[in-house]
Amino acid sequence: MQLHKVEIAFHEAGSTRNLNQMLSLFADDAVLTTIRKTDDGKEQIKTYTGKEQIKNYWQAHPAFQPQNQWVGYTPAFRIRYTVEGDRAHLYFECLWMDKAAGKIAAHTNSDDTLARVNGRWLIEEMKAASVPGLQRRSPRNRSSAASNYRFDESRRVADAGTRTRSPPGNTPGHAPRLRPRRARRSRSPTPPGPGCEWPADFGMIWSVRSECCAAYAASPMGSRQTACGIRPRTDPYG
């Protein structure tokens, strides 16, 4: 729980631009390493040693600029930590939200090594880096996927001038052989209760003789429609 408080204090300090609170999380000889990718894809690594250099880093951080209204928080399911005596490892991610723009300004992670000094956890080493975004599908992949679907003239019915999907084995340039459509079994809804009224939400129009109720109840399952004279005019299952 004490390690979790380190993450909470980190985001509170960044959200309120409290530089002293941020520096209080680091040991005097702490090392902060930042890893970022340049526009040409190369990694740029900078190291800040000691509290004075770490202070300079946070003073220049966008979250601490007075013109920015950034609020930091972490996805709880991303937090990981391990403890071995007076040493610990803590990993969390930070989503810096730009309140003015109403969007995420930065998504970073913090990979930390901590030491317990006088009962308090302090950061000895912090590695901060940007979290990679979702990989977008390249135009090459999109074009190749689109090229996999091609219109075949064998899918055209010559006499009707409409497109249809041809079964395997058709000869291009000829009307495809149409397979006979298999009859689908219609599913009957739940049998009606007293009054012989079918629920309206079945989307059917039924013609039922008023005297069919007794015959319907006494008929076996296979002949109930015949006994009652129930004739479906519209069957959405057919």
| pLDDT tens column, 53-97 | 999 999 999 999 999 999 998 888 999 999 999 999 999 999 999
- Three-class secondary structure of residue 176 per DSSP: coil
- Residue 5, CA distances (Å) to 40, 129, 177 in order: 37, 21, 72
Q: Which domains does the chain have, with CATH numbers?
A: 2-130 (3.10.450.50), 190-238 (no CATH)
Residue 74 and residue 95 in contact, taking contact as beta carbons nearer than 8 Å: yes
Under-50 pLDDT residues of the chain: 134-164, 166, 189-190, 192-193, 195-219, 221-238
Query: Which residues face 156 on adjacent strands?
Result: 163
- Residue 213 CA to residue 27 CA, distance in Å, equals 87
Residue 17: per-residue pLDDT: 96
Q: Where are the alpha helices (DSSP H) in 72-207?
A: 139-147
Residue 21 and residue 12 in contact, taking contact as beta carbons nearer than 8 Å: yes
Which two structure tokens, joined as six digits, stand for 160? 């009707």
Cα dihedral across residues 157, 158, 163, 169: positive or negative: positive
- Three-class secondary structure of residue 214 per DSSP: helix
Residue 132: per-residue pLDDT: 76
Break the chain down into helix, strand, coil percent, rounded to 5: 30, 30, 40
Residue 184: per-residue pLDDT: 64
pTM of the full structure? 0.55
Residue 1: per-residue pLDDT: 66
